[in-house]
């Protein structure tokens, strides 16, 4: 556009100069009265030549302007393509950044859980050793609810989270630890476990948990409703070796509620030794 804007004054200048030259030479062609007859024969030719020259100059400027505009169009298309490529790269980088941020959050959550599990493992080792020293235990039963006091909702979390049922009603044999939420089998035998969980309704998050044996998911319970209180439960009978660990994990992006009525519980007992 800038070159075309500069060409218009140039065009006007050429036309003005040509017109001025034509006028000057026309004036010079005026001769005394006695020579008018001879001059009249030459004047049309000079005027026609100047008009043709002016037209040729205009056409030359127009051709130059057209060529310049064509070059600018090509350059604009090239710049547009480069801009589209850069925009696509920026969108890809934004997507990669979002994925990296998500992975960082997951890594931080997993690191925190690993530290917690290491601490609990140390406690578990100590408990196993203590149980071994105490000898064979044939009477084992426990029952506990989630909160020791008050009321509240746990979750949602972006990863599976071990639950600690702190309000202990029964703990015969002391195989259940209310500080870690772990049940550690004191003897080899068949055990039965049950867990009940619930939460008030939510549009996006349900209530779910899974029974875990030595890190392996056994049975899961899950429910989801947008409003009112809802609960779910499950149970399993397991053959455990001495030192096997059983606990309950809150499912990823799930919630669990408890209060003084003890809605959410975890229970287990020894069926028989083997």
Instruction: Work out the mean pLDDT of the chain and round it to a whole number.
Output: 82
Under the banding of pLDDT at 50, 70 and 90, the label for residue 61 is confident
**d(C-alpha 193, C-alpha 100), whole Å:** 40
Rg of the Cα trace of the chain?
Answer: 46
Is the whole-model pTM more than 0.75? no
Q: Which residue has the higher pLDDT, 137 or 62?
A: 62
**d(C-alpha 121, C-alpha 245), whole Å:** 10
Flag whether pLDDT at 225 surpasses 90: no
């Amino acid at each position: 556009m800038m070159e075309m804007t500069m060409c218009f004054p140039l065009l006007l200048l050429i036309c003005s100069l040509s017109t001025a030259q034509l006028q000057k030479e026309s004036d010079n062609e005026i001769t005394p009265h006695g020579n008018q007859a001879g001059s009249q024969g030459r004047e049309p030719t000079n005027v026609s030549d100047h008009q043709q020259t002016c037209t040729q100059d205009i056409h030359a400027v127009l051709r130059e302007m057209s060529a310049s505009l064509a070059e600018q169009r090509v350059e604009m298309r090239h710049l547009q393509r480069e801009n589209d490529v850069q925009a696509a790269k920026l969108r890809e980088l934004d997507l990669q950044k979002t994925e990296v941020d998500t992975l960082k959050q997951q890594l931080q959550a997993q690191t925190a859980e690993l530290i917690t599990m290491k601490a609990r493992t140390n406690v578990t080792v100590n408990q196993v050793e203590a149980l071994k020293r105490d000898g064979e235990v044939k009477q084992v039963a426990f029952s506990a609810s989630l909160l020791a006091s008050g009321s509240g909702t746990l979750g949602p979390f972006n990863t599976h989270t071990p639950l600690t049922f702190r309000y202990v009603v029964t703990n015969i044999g002391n195989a259940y630890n209310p500080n870690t939420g772990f049940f550690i089998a004191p003897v080899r035998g068949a055990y039965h476990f049950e867990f009940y969980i619930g939460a008030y309704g939510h549009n996006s998050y349900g209530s779910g948990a899974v029974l875990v044996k030595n890190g392996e998911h056994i049975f899961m319970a899950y429910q989801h409703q947008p409003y009112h209180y809802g609960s779910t439960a499950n149970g399993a009978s397991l053959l455990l070796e001495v030192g096997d660990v059983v606990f309950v994990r809150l499912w990823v992006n799930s919630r669990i509620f408890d209060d003084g009525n003890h809605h959410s519980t975890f229970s287990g007992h020894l069926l028989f030794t083997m």
